[in-house]
Structure 1
Amino acid sequence: MSAEKHGVLDGAVPPAENMRLFGHAEAEHFLAQNYRSGKGHHAILIEGPEGIGKATLAFRFANHVLSHPDPATAPEMLLDPEANAIVSRQIASGASHNLLHLTRPTDEKTGRVKSAITVDEVRRAGKFFSQTSGTGNWRIVIIDTADDLNRNAANAILKILEEPPKRSLFLVLTHAPGKLLPTIRSRCLPLALRPLGPGPMRQAMASLGFEIAGASAEKVFAAANGSVSEALKLVNYGGLDIIAAFDAVLAGQGPVIRKDMHKLADTLSGKDSETIFDFFSELASKHVMGQARQAALSGDLARADRFARLSSAVTEKLTLAGAYNLDRKQTILSLLDDLRSAQAA
């Protein structure tokens, strides 16, 4: 089944092609032992922040299972896949008949990635399982991510999880397990991954060809919070500059700030700016939630309530802008005005 390769950042290796994983030895050991026991769960919920290796781990485990279809004779640990092995080549090229990667599809008209995994995508899983495997091998579905399932798609997945086909395995990825349907969570074995520590982060970035040292390394790793994808956005997409400009706009005074706001909005709404716009959206959302949390901890309940309400408003504004393709620059300027007003109140 063909795997989509959209959403891969510049400098990154697509998870299906990535032969290296750093910082998750404990999770790898658990998966290997769980599978080898012959009593492994049919659905594993791989949880953790974005960009820490969840998808790479899922493809890595899928490679392990398809390479060793008999659990009793499988290795006791997950080894680095051999790039030239038949299973690895099939997975990397999206040509494996035993693996289906469900992710947000691309809109054929606009060429943009859709905002959700639709029920039509989930129906592919039904067809996938209905086909007879010529090898009698496992059938594996990677849902990347379950956070992107719309309601109809989530209900359709639930039906399959309730009555899974024989020799089927679901690897369900999520950045926010608390937002999933409780019925989906209850039918999966949870496996939580933690953000990468400094050592694994340096190893992961070095494996991608990034040797970051000195003061810039401290800034990147501090802002990345253990996420390789965040580090790539900071290094390759001007993320550090976006953070600096955002902080300056919120802290600045006087008419010159309008000029800075427009400059930032122009950068975020330019051609091919999807990645940095998403980065900014997440930055703004985290800022508002952080302000609400800080105010609550300090006992300023009025300010906490104001920022909590603003958090909902920011999410709604960004969601509507994306859904209706509203002018991105005006959305950013309006959002910055709201943040500045809340900050000054």
Structure 2
Amino acid sequence: MSDDPRVLDGAIAPERNTRLFGHEDTTRFLADAYRSGHMHHALLLEGPKGIGKATLAFRLANHILSHPEADTAPTVISDPDPESTVTHQIGTGASHSLLHLARPIDPKTGRVRTAITVDEVRRAGRFYEQTSGTGNWRIVIVDPADDLNRSAANAILKILEEPPRRSLFILVSHAAGRLLPTIRSRCMTINMHPLSDSDVLSALSNLGLERTEDPDTLGRTAASSAGSLSTALLLLRYGGLDIIDAFEQIVSRGADGPVEATHKLGDMLSARDRDEAYAFFKDHAVGWISQQAIVDARAGHHHGADRWANLALEIGRDLDTADIYNLDRKQAVLSVFSSIFQLQAA
């Protein structure tokens, strides 16, 4: 487990995680690509959040650093050996051959900053310069690359244009559409897919949660997780299941329903130390609205589908703006339901 605020309660930080569930075909492809000497210098691991992309990135890095000569590397990428020096160095951030770029933590507030800045990317430039004479592999993992601000993205691009010898860039992306097209064009994109319910349950068991949660709750969690372990943890550890229940109750009652439930949910999500729960609500709200668009489209109600799709975009932008300007979270929650009610009544 981790005290890092970037890691969910109950989770294992990707650099310390020795287990990966699912993605057997992707893992096999990467093992073959490395052994054959055809590994691209920059990989873009793309897929939904919480499915194991960062864990796979560190797993691949461990494999390469443990077997630096590609032609003698194993044909499979095995679980990292927790007793090995490479695994220990990666897990503690002490490896001289691996650099992990993520949103930094503000030392004054202890909170995670909103973006990966150009100063962070400059660390990658210095990292390559300091290790250029060793002849060893140099690996940079950016997790997630979606968090690069504009200046940082341009700085990454310059490195990708002239990659050093025996270097590997691994970019993790939950929404690769946010990346500069020029960055995408210089990477080999590897699409990764949501986990199966059984893989989610196995991952939760690996975290020891089968000892603290009843089977029915775990089953519902896996079914509601959309194949994402991070979503499953939000459901179990951050009140996500209760948020879903409250959300469904409020929208089913509509604008004429009692307002107490809406205000109660708003109060809960705007309380201190509920950042993850609020983020879950935002994702769930936008996802729910998007699903209404899909339902209408499948039923041939194209006008309704367009209106729901536009509302999903509008709500997403409004919630992002509220975060940027630190606006009142309760009001943001109330506005989401007000917009839904207006469209339901139309």
TM-score exceeds 0.5:
yes
Structure 1 distance, partners of 2:322, 2:132, is 44
Which residue in the other structure is 1:321 paired with? 322
Q: Shift of the alpha carbon at 1:253?
A: 4.8
Please tell me whether residue 163 in structure 1 is matched to residue 162 in structure 2: yes
Matched-pair contact (CA < 8 Å) for 2:20–2:55: yes
Deviating 4+ runs (over 6 angstroms): none
Structure 1 distance, partners of 2:289, 2:244, is 14
Please tell me whether residue 22 in structure 1 is matched to residue 17 in structure 2: no
Matched-pair contact (CA < 8 Å) for 2:50–2:230: yes
Please tell me whether residue 339 in structure 1 is matched to residue 340 in structure 2: yes
Matches within 5 A, 1:243-282: 243-253=244-254, 257-282=258-283
Matched-pair contact (CA < 8 Å) for 2:266–2:330: yes
Amino acid of the structure 2 residue aligned with 1:174: S
Matched-pair contact (CA < 8 Å) for 1:98–1:139: yes
Describe the superposition over 1:248-292 as per-residue Cα deviations: whole angstroms up to 9, x where unpaired. 111115766211111101111111101111100000111111122
Gap runs ≥5 in structure 1 = none
Which residue in the other structure is 2:120 paired with? 121
Matches within 5 A, 1:1-345: 5-132=4-131, 135-211=134-210, 214-253=215-254, 257-345=258-346
Matched-pair contact (CA < 8 Å) for 2:197–2:223: no
Number of equivalenced pairs: 343
Matched-pair contact (CA < 8 Å) for 2:131–2:138: no
Matched-pair contact (CA < 8 Å) for 1:16–1:92: yes
Structure 1 distance, partners of 2:8, 2:259, is 31
Amino acid of the structure 1 residue aligned with 2:57: A
Structure 1 distance, partners of 2:118, 2:164, is 19
Q: Shift of the alpha carbon at 1:112?
A: 2.1
Structure 1 distance, partners of 2:131, 2:124, is 13
Describe the superposition over 1:94-124 as per-residue Cα deviations: whole angstroms up to 9, x where unpaired. 1111111111122334332122212221111
Structure 1 distance, partners of 2:214, 2:261, is 30
* Secondary structure, aligned partner of 1:319: helix
Structure 1 distance, partners of 2:57, 2:230, is 17
Structure 1 distance, partners of 2:292, 2:195, is 25
Change (3 A) 1:124 1:173: same
Structure 1 distance, partners of 2:76, 2:170, is 18
Gap runs ≥5 in structure 2 = none
Amino acid of the structure 1 residue aligned with 2:142: I
Amino acid of the structure 2 residue aligned with 1:93: T
Scaled by the length of structure 1, what TM-score is found?
Answer: 0.94
Aligned-residue sequence identity (percent) comes to 53
Describe the superposition over 1:50-108 as per-residue Cα deviations: whole angstroms up to 9, x where unpaired. 11110000001101111111111111111111112111111111111111111112233
Describe the superposition over 1:206-240 as per-residue Cα deviations: whole angstroms up to 9, x where unpaired. 11102265432332111101111111111111111
RMSD: 1.9
Scaled by the length of structure 2, what TM-score is found?
Answer: 0.94
* Secondary structure, aligned partner of 2:318: helix
Structure 2 distance, partners of 1:278, 1:292, is 22
Q: Shift of the alpha carbon at 1:309?
A: 2.5
Change (3 A) 1:109 1:137: same
* Secondary structure, aligned partner of 1:170: strand
Matched-pair contact (CA < 8 Å) for 2:47–2:174: yes
Matched-pair contact (CA < 8 Å) for 1:4–1:103: no
Matched-pair contact (CA < 8 Å) for 1:63–1:88: yes
Matched-pair contact (CA < 8 Å) for 2:47–2:194: yes
